[in-house]
Amino acid sequence: MLSRFVQRLTRDEVARFYLLAGSRMPARYRPHYNIAPSQTCLILRLDGDQRYGSMSRWGLIPFHFEGRSRKSLTLVSAEAAAGPSFENAFRGRRCLVPCGGFYGWRSAPEGCSQPYLIDMADGSPFAMAGLWETWVDPRSRSNVTTFAIVMTEANDLTSPIMPQMPVIVAPQHWSRWLDAGSTQAARDMLRPYPAAKMRAFRVSSQVNDRKRNGPELIAPLN
């Protein structure tokens, strides 16, 4: 289960790395090393042919929900994302989730779980596939943007740590993933990222506390 991830770039670094149009980054964005469900973080969307950053709550609430009684969806399987339940979102509301690594927990012989950080082999940032929705809060009548991360089967690196992994969109496919006219191409991207291009290493159990947020959380554990 994916329940925490990292966004470690500064505003300017995000704009440069993900090729955003002009300075289209939200002013309230800050790096975060322990993003948990229901927290607000950065996603990337498309406006015409221009990519831009938007703050969004992690936990997708379909637009037709009338209240908060049903649990929001932090993760959506690849099969469900491309199926009838999310047909409209998959066709027109795909997003990229900037990521500097995601955490997974592996059972240890002593009975506890050891957290790992999983990222690219060279340590570079990447982008996870997501779906977004705008939902109207019935109490405040304000629009709330929410998102879910699309998951697929684990690769050889991640399978000992977690049964599924997020769909990682390679840089050359970012534009096609965001483009509503590339639905079939997006379906073709719903597969595990090559294990040889990734790495996993142990990190401190401090990440278990969702209140902790700092670069020390992603330091390799000696």
Q: What is the pLDDT of residues 73-87, one digit of tens each?
A: 999 999 999 999 899
DSSP 63-108: TT--SS-SPPBSEEEHHHHTSGGGHHHHHH-EEEEEESEEEEEEE-
pLDDT-based confidence at residue 102 (cuts at 50, 70, 90): very high
Whole-prediction pTM: 0.94
**Structure confidence at residue 79 (pLDDT):** 96
CATH superfamily of 5-102+126-195: SOS response associated peptidase-like (3.90.1680.10)
Domain ranges, ordered by start, for the chain: 5-102+126-195
**Structure confidence at residue 19 (pLDDT):** 93
- Give CA–CA dist 9/14, Å, rounded: 6
- Give CA–CA dist 7/101, Å, rounded: 8
**Structure confidence at residue 40 (pLDDT):** 97
pLDDT-based confidence at residue 112 (cuts at 50, 70, 90): confident
